[in-house]
Amino acid sequence: GTGSASATDLWEQSALNQVLQRGELQVCLEAGYMPFDMRNKKGDIVGFDVDIAKTMAKAMDVKLDLRNTAWDGIIPALLTGKCDLIISGMTINPERNLKVNFTDPYIVVGQTILLSPALKDKVKSYKDLNDEKYRITTKLGATSDYATKKYMSKAKLNLFETESEAALEVINGNADAFIYDLPYNAIYSSQNVGKVIHLDQSFTYEPLGMAVRKGDPDFLNFLNNYLAQIKGDGTYDKLYNKWFVS
């Protein structure tokens, strides 16, 4: 460019300004990641992310529109303006951070293992799964996909579009293990007692953040301060206890 944008230019273009003008916060997420983004019995999208987005929209005094978006298209959707932000249990990593900006982490998770009960005594950690005789499943394009390729490169990897299809393979006897984020696996194993074993020691470090388009300091400033506020005033703890402690 020929010059630098002024503060008023930046604010004109800020997604936050667009949200206020429109009177609606448009959020991309993908339902299917318990307990962050999922469908209840009525078919509504609910979860920890949804509740954070709801309180945030309320603080902005705007409506909230949840836009269910397939995982492999969720960053492109943000970049092409289909939503103002992504809150979808997204791990902050360098590869993604080259394309989008992230807020400060709102929670930290890590990868764990849902194991076939048949391997109870044979497999104690992800290291034991790094063997060509094992079949592992996970979700395409998730950090579990990258982690499995990195730490269990010898195993056969089968990728699925949704986490539920991938996890079901273990129950059906088509896979030895499903690798995924701890909170999902904790809930899944409690819903499928005796059908899977949860090896619940995380072997990766994964801070989750909200993603926004680059070049938008005004929006990022609002979101980070909003997160700091709810962490301090009890709102965050209330929502955390609602979704993570049963």
- Which residues of the shown chain bind ligand ARG in the complex (CB under 6 A)? 29-30, 32-33, 37, 71, 88-91, 142-143, 181, 206
Q: Rounded to the nearest whole angstrom, what is the least distance from the CB of residue 205 to ligand ARG in the complex?
A: 12
Smallest distance from ligand ARG to CB 89, Å? 4
Q: How far is the CB of 22 from ligand ARG (least distance, A)?
A: 24
Could you please report the per-residue DSSP string of 189-245?
HHHSBTTBEEE----S-EEE--EE-SS-HHHHHHHHHHHHHHHHHSHHHHHHHHHH-
Q: Which is nearer to ligand ARG, 88 or 185 (CB)?
A: 88
Contact (CB, 8 A) for 81 and 22: no
Q: Cβ(103)–Cβ(226) under 8 Å?
A: no
Report phi then psi at 176, rounded to 5: -90, -30
Choice between 93 and 235, CB closer to ligand ARG:
93
- Are the C-beta atoms of residues 18 and 85 closer than 8 Å to each other? no
Asked if residue 117 has a cis previous peptide bond (ω within 30° of 0), the answer is: no
* CB of residue 207 to ligand ARG, shortest distance in Å: 10
- Residue 65 is inside which H or E element, if any? strand 63-68
